[in-house]
Structure 1
Amino acid sequence: MKSCLRHLSGLSGLVVLLFLWWLGTDVLSPKNSFASRFSVEETLPTLWHLLTGSDLFLHALISLKRIVVGLVFALIIGVPVGLLIGAKPWVERATGPAFQFLRMISPLSWMPIAVMVFGIGDKPIYFLLTFATVWPIMFNTAAGVKQLDRHFLLVAKSLAATQSETLLYVVFPGILSHMMTGIRLAIGIAWIIIVPCEMLGVSAGLGYFILDTRDRLAYPELMSTILLIGLIGYLLDSAVRAAARRLG
């Protein structure tokens, strides 16, 4: 019963949001005004048409592929470094100021340098996504290691477990919830910056498609793409939360 009420309350918020959008663009805005070009009555049918009869779905898949590649690189870098930071206080003291300094730099500010170094294409996007997502993974992994019950490590040591066995059967299960939190934050960040990243001269992706709709003055298609971005982001976050509950 509580679950149904929770879902209904969430649905009611979406209904209110949809109503405010319809009120602002279809009711209060004059006909043929700029705001009316983003109306609900034009956007929703356009979204259905794009999903069933255009390349929008393919653009979404390409964006998701880039997100996955960026997250894989972030995990490869962030998890080992996070383990080291959490296990060795001197490493945290030595690297903390530098990492905090880098973390506070907007990933998008690296766009010109990324293009100069990696050229046009997917490589600068992978770099920007990795740079943006490595920090929540790294710091949450380190936080999990710090909060790990040391008695578990002592038990593993008393049973003559090797370092790899301790890492696999004690450390990783103990920090899994923290890692999932870091991954969830990383996905949210990546999904936010993927659109401007895909304006770096690539020829596919949701960011590219938004620029294309702007250039063609196809405002219902532009608004449809924005809705799809929000929907996919919501589904990604829900999937990670469900996985975290199951693994926890």
Structure 2
Amino acid sequence: MKHRRALRYGLSILALIVLAPAAVLVALRMPAFGDQLPAYGAIVNAHVPYMRQATNVVTAIIFDVRGADTLGEEFIFVAAITGLAVLLRGGRGEDASRKPIRTDGRRLPARSEAVALLVRWMLPATIAFSIYVMAHGQLTPGGGFQAGAMLASALLLLFLGDGYRSWRQVTPPIVMQMLEALGAIGCVGVGLLPMAFGTGFLENVLPQGEPKSLTGGGLIPLFNVAVGMAITGGFVNALVEFLEETRQPEEGES
């Protein structure tokens, strides 16, 4: 054990020595706040708003101009959640109980009615705001990733207010896994849709809609929703795996 710890420390120090100079150089060479935009940024700012009727240029870059990069990042996220599930689930198997773990000398706190009431007010409001952020990603700051993280966090409120059993009933893992998978498939499907019309991958083929409206953005809103589904399902699946470590093991489990 001590040998492994020393090895981890050694690798961490080596990585720090190798990467620290590059990080310092990047920080020193960053343009000052308020400097003139580089040519790439100026071109995007000049053309994207009227080409896609998207007032949030950042989202237009992520889901349109550099949409292929975002697709790759999405599958990195899916692979990370899969690795987490394989790592944690391997020790306990596929079955899951809904009994909280009991440890000698540790008292389980009683359910707080005040916290439960607060959660029941906050949960629907947070879910509604998450959907708002997802739907308006091409118009205002936000988008599928931010909305998905918010939605998963909103569902976690149920665990804080009503406990693990209620939370698991609302977020069954099989449903969350299907949501993540459908979101990832949807990201690819949005990219392949234009190819059915003889154009390039992720090239817009939908009407641009009206400026500053939910109908604007072409393919951007569809890509946005697919990412939101994948992120929501992925984060909830991660929370399931972590919170499963707090439950009482079933007979035959370690």
TM over 0.5: no
Shorter chain as normaliser: what TM range?
under 0.3
Bigger helix share? 1
Question: Relative contact order: is structure 1 or structure 2 higher (C-alpha 8 Å, sep ≥ 6)?
Answer: 2
